[in-house]
Structure 1
Amino acid sequence: MNGNVLHADILVIDDSVDDLRFLTKTLTEQGYQVRGVTKGISALKAAQLKPPHLILLDIRMPEMDGYEVCRRLKANPLTADIPVIFLSALHEIADKIKAFELGGVDYVTKPFQVEEIFARVKLHLTLCSQQQQLEQQNVELIQLNEQLQQEMIRREQMENKLQIVDANLSLISEQQAEHWGISAFIGKSKTIIKILDDILRLQRVEKTNILVLGESGTGKELIARAIHFGGVRAKGPFIAVNCAAIPGELAESILFGHVRGAFTGAVNDRKGYFELASGGTLFLDEMGEMPWSLQAKLLRSLENGTFMSIGSYREKQVDVRVIAATNADLATKITAGEFRQDLYFRLAGYTVHLPPLRERQEDIPLLIEHFLSRLAIEMGRPQATLTPSARAALANYSFPGNARELRNILEHALISSDNTVIQLPHLRFIETIDIPVPVLDEFNGEKFISISCGEAEQKILAYVHQHGNITNFQCRHLLNLDYHHASYLLKKMSREGRLVRQGNRRGSYYQQP
């Protein structure tokens, strides 16, 4: 009923045709939907077929009296919770007691008083509606509590791990610095040299916030880790947060924490990522997807160096350097009112631009050797080699997924080639590749690709024309792609004006302009 007692469905059961006609007419005029039957067996069938919100039940009826009808209604799970108001000319106390013992909620005597009928019907419909609302709220609270309990368990596990890390901080910092230092960057292009210079400068700076911009797969987190573990904050914690993966209803608690009793399920104080990163670096990946409601609070924390947990009335001081990263066009988001301009300027104390791999092709051979070496160690196999045609294919590929895609292509090729010699058919691409003709003789001139970019785009447009829109999930199943390849194609077609993106974050979809 959703709190609205009007238009409720009422079933009236009375063997007196006059009484039945009177009640039906009177209640219908009040806006209720009324059904009337004269026999108990018919009433049971009607109630089971379409359970009403309220039943008015006469006691004295032939074949099956109202007491037996009520007993059977309460024994049936489909009708057990329907409130029953008994109707009778009997005035004996014993009759009323028996009616209540069988599950009746009220008793109206004949002859009827219209005002009394209206009052009792409205009262019990209202009580029933309120009870349903309370039950629904209870279900929602139980679900929310389960979510919070799971989050608290995860957070507690994380805190336990952080305590272990803290006990061995010096040793771990040295190991991380070696792993995430400058030597982790492979390349000799002018762009990479410029980025390495930026990293060296930023490692010597302690407090400046940094914004790292670049496509997915270009190594934004690698930059953040190199700055942290090779810099003055190396002995402090490095906390990485994917803003796109933060549930909206838990976002503030996850980032800033909460105190005991702040909300249902908050049985203990919990530190947020902002506090856990104190003394070190907070890496906010996919910053462009941070909920708007959280951006203002983050801005205040960056400006004042303080934060306030949910349910607390006391601000805490923290020493956190924030490195934010995004592949989104923040200027467009600012114009669209999806990202705060003042937060952008606060984050962009220094900006590092990571170019896509297709703009630094001279680095591809070095990256190939680096990934082949690392994968051989990880798989426990000898390092594989590539045929000339396979190398030519990689050299001429645009890599929409950047360095991450290159690594995935090589890993797939190592498995499909059984780690011997990687040939052209072992490479799996999303876009068409132009390979010099001489090297094609190795495979009888056959160009091996999974699907060309043009074919993929035509399939996407056909799908949108038929279904109205397409999501990343639908695109992946349509073309048999992974998430990043599907995202690349959809964003590319959006930039070219052939599709228009709607919605935010993971719930976005694309449709025709």
Structure 2
Amino acid sequence: MPEISTETITETTDSRPASRIAGSPRILIIDDEVAIRESLETMLALEGFTVVLATEGTSGMEQLAKNQFDLLLLDLALPGESGMDLLPRIVEMYPTLPVIMITAFGTMGNVVEAIRAGAENFVQKPWDNEKLLADIRTAIARHRAEEEVIQLKRTLKQRYNFENIVGKSEPMLKLFDLIAQVAPSRSTILIQGESGTGKELIAKAIHSNSPRRERPFVPVNTGAVPSELLESTLFGHVKGAFTSAISAKKGLFEVANGGTLFLDEIGTMTMDMQAKILRVLQDRRFMHLGGTQEIQVDVRIIAATNVNLQDAVRAGRFREDLFYRLNVITLELPSLRSRREDIPLLATHFLKLYAAENGMEERSLSPEALRVLMEYEWPGNVRELENAMERGVVLSTDKTIHPELLPAQLTGNTYTANILEQQPNASLFDLMEEIERRIIADRLERCQWNQTEAAEYFRIPLSTLNQKIKRLNVEIKKRNRE
């Protein structure tokens, strides 16, 4: 018979230890019935859990104060304070600890009251061992993911001052070290990575860890600003510089003076605009549009692109001299599919974020939903994962998110199958148009309605994409910024 790993209550003066992520999950059982305690202890120990036992509320609370647990099994009917009396205190003192209530007298009223008070689940005696074990594993997985996110953020905050960047994979740890190394310098930085990898977050982290942290961080998505307006946006203009210039206006270079200007999607700039950016990088001087007086600024430039600028240089779409000016220090952001071990952490982070934003209880992923996330290729990277978690939170009616709440592309549902069901009498031509319409709309949504980015993904000219959008009546929504 396998050795059973259990612990009994002992007096100790040790302070509460730090959260334990690795190792055997620890479960505290508070139940006054000997048979129930022994039955749960044996079952859980055989499954590899470390079990601690308490017979009533006072000793159970002492154990919670002394030790770190991954889950609490709490009996509803205890001598002295009942489990329902203890639950609000436990939730308040240990908000991330999942609690599963156990009772022989379960009623719908008890279930609702316990869930509202913060219980993870409610189990009635006699229970189904397999279901109980599944519930326990799901709750512990969520708890450990939450604890790991908290510890990771605390570590990154102490070491670097990084906000909202989550990752423990080797590529991300190397990136964190590199950011910390280059942030204090004045050097221009080029951030390269696929769409949705979080380039603006990295740029903010660099600024926050630099001597310029008290000065402005000014982001501008150059691909989202029409080319005829970009010069005025960056350099400002004098009154009367063009028809609608009824007053003078500062440009973003002036707004960012002393701080950092983040030029996102710099690969979309026209050659003429690239020449003007190059001059500012060289001389730290520029003129307002329509002006005659030079203005000197002290701005650190961080540029970002999701295209290969060296290929663009070879194709004649990007100035070679500007590329070398930008390419002083290059940071390569890994795709999400290349750091899959970060997916549970990121998912937990986003679930917590959007539950709070929507005034809802925290959500967790079912094991099946997590498996879907781990197996998906994530062409939209972290942004796509964030959108999927927001959708899951908003559509969920309980605390667990199952695969059916995930976007169709994650679970393998195809456009074709859905369209054939919805339009069984449509002609082949109509079906093909509908598929094309949905593919374009889906890609635009993943790109946050940036048509330039979508055209690059489809490897077609922007004008061709615009023609298709008009012909197919694709609805264009207002683009959200990262």
TM superposition score normalised by structure 1 = 0.53
User: Is the 1:257–1:309 contact (alpha carbons within 8 Å) kept by the matching residues of 2?
Assistant: yes
User: Is the 1:220–1:325 contact (alpha carbons within 8 Å) kept by the matching residues of 2?
Assistant: yes
Instruction: Quickly say closer, same or farther: Cα 1:505–1:281, change in 2 above 3 A.
Output: farther
Q: What letter is aligned with 1:387? A: S
Could you tell me which of 339, 342, 352 is aligned with 2:318? 339
- Other structure's SS at 1:323 match: strand
Determine the C-alpha separation between the residues in 2 that align with 1:485 and 1:267.
Answer: 37
Determine the C-alpha separation between the residues in 1 that align with 2:164 and 2:407.
Answer: 26
Instruction: Quickly say closer, same or farther: Cα 1:218–1:307, change in 2 above 3 A.
Output: same
Report which stretch shifted further, 383-392 or 476-485: 476-485
User: Is the 1:400–1:485 contact (alpha carbons within 8 Å) kept by the matching residues of 2?
Assistant: no
Could you tell me which of 197, 203, 212 is aligned with 1:233? 212
User: Is the 2:416–2:435 contact (alpha carbons within 8 Å) kept by the matching residues of 1?
Assistant: no
Counterpart of 1:189 in structure 2 is 169
Instruction: Quickly say closer, same or farther: Cα 1:356–1:429, change in 2 above 3 A.
Output: farther
Q: What letter is aligned with 1:450? A: N
User: Is the 1:401–1:484 contact (alpha carbons within 8 Å) kept by the matching residues of 2?
Assistant: no
Counterpart of 2:442 in structure 1 is 481
User: Is the 1:244–1:506 contact (alpha carbons within 8 Å) kept by the matching residues of 2?
Assistant: no
Counterpart of 1:501 in structure 2 is 460
Shift of 1:251: 1.9
- The residue correspondences of 1:102-251 to structure 2 (distance < 5 A) are 181-205=161-185, 207-251=186-230
User: Is the 1:279–1:320 contact (alpha carbons within 8 Å) kept by the matching residues of 2?
Assistant: yes
Instruction: Quickly say closer, same or farther: Cα 1:485–1:184, change in 2 above 3 A.
Output: closer
Determine the C-alpha separation between the residues in 2 that align with 1:372 and 1:384.
Answer: 6
- The residue correspondences of 1:417-496 to structure 2 (distance < 5 A) are 417-430=396-409, 448-451=411-414, 475-477=436-438, 481=442, 483-485=444-446
User: Is the 1:502–1:508 contact (alpha carbons within 8 Å) kept by the matching residues of 2?
Assistant: no
User: Is the 1:387–1:421 contact (alpha carbons within 8 Å) kept by the matching residues of 2?
Assistant: yes
Counterpart of 1:439 in structure 2 is none
Q: What letter is aligned with 2:212? A: R
Structure of higher CA gyration radius: 1
Counterpart of 1:407 in structure 2 is 386
Instruction: Quickly say closer, same or farther: Cα 1:204–1:247, change in 2 above 3 A.
Output: same
Shift of 1:503: 4.0
Are 2:348 and 1:369 equivalent residues in the alignment? yes
Shift of 1:263: 2.6
Instruction: Quickly say closer, same or farther: Cα 1:287–1:480, change in 2 above 3 A.
Output: closer
Counterpart of 1:129 in structure 2 is none
Determine the C-alpha separation between the residues in 2 that align with 1:480 and 1:449.
Answer: 18
Instruction: Quickly say closer, same or farther: Cα 1:493–1:243, change in 2 above 3 A.
Output: closer
Q: What letter is aligned with 1:204? A: P
Counterpart of 2:264 in structure 1 is 285
Determine the C-alpha separation between the residues in 2 that align with 1:230 and 1:368.
Answer: 26
Instruction: Quickly say closer, same or farther: Cα 1:480–1:263, change in 2 above 3 A.
Output: closer
- Other structure's SS at 1:184 match: coil
Shift of 1:194: 0.8
- Structure 1 stretches lacking a partner, 5+ long: 1-176, 432-447, 457-464
User: Is the 1:261–1:267 contact (alpha carbons within 8 Å) kept by the matching residues of 2?
Assistant: yes
Shift of 1:412: 1.0
Counterpart of 1:7 in structure 2 is none
TM superposition score normalised by structure 2 = 0.56
Q: What letter is aligned with 1:211? A: L
Counterpart of 1:312 in structure 2 is 291
Cα deviations by residue, 1:201-232 (Å, 9 ceiling, x for unpaired): 12211x21111011111000000111112221
Q: What letter is aligned with 2:271? A: W
Counterpart of 2:38 in structure 1 is none
Determine the C-alpha separation between the residues in 2 that align with 1:259 and 1:232.
Answer: 32
Give the alignment's Cα RMSD to 1 decimal: 3.5
- Structure 2 stretches lacking a partner, 5+ long: 1-156, 420-427, 470-482
Counterpart of 2:309 in structure 1 is 330
Determine the C-alpha separation between the residues in 1 that align with 2:178 and 2:197.
Answer: 16
Q: Percent identity?
A: 41
- Other structure's SS at 1:278 match: coil
Give the number of the structure with larger relative contact order, counting CA–CA contacts within 8 Å between residues 6 or more apart: 2
User: Is the 1:244–1:289 contact (alpha carbons within 8 Å) kept by the matching residues of 2?
Assistant: yes
User: Is the 2:235–2:288 contact (alpha carbons within 8 Å) kept by the matching residues of 1?
Assistant: yes
Counterpart of 1:39 in structure 2 is none
Q: What letter is aligned with 2:188? A: N
- Other structure's SS at 1:283 match: strand
Determine the C-alpha separation between the residues in 2 that align with 1:291 and 1:474.
Answer: 33
Shift of 1:264: 2.5
Counterpart of 1:398 in structure 2 is 377
User: Is the 1:476–1:482 contact (alpha carbons within 8 Å) kept by the matching residues of 2?
Assistant: no
Determine the C-alpha separation between the residues in 1 that align with 2:161 and 2:310.
Answer: 31
Determine the C-alpha separation between the residues in 2 that align with 1:455 and 1:330.
Answer: 39
Counterpart of 1:82 in structure 2 is none
Cα deviations by residue, 1:323-358 (Å, 9 ceiling, x for unpaired): 111111212221221111111111111110001100
Cα deviations by residue, 1:446-495 (Å, 9 ceiling, x for unpaired): xx543279999xxxxxxxx979x99xx9945357625154899x999988
- The residue correspondences of 1:268-279 to structure 2 (distance < 5 A) are 268-279=247-258
Determine the C-alpha separation between the residues in 2 that align with 1:203 and 1:367.
Answer: 24
Instruction: Quickly say closer, same or farther: Cα 1:271–1:353, change in 2 above 3 A.
Output: same
Q: What letter is aligned with 2:414? A: I
User: Is the 2:415–2:438 contact (alpha carbons within 8 Å) kept by the matching residues of 1?
Assistant: no
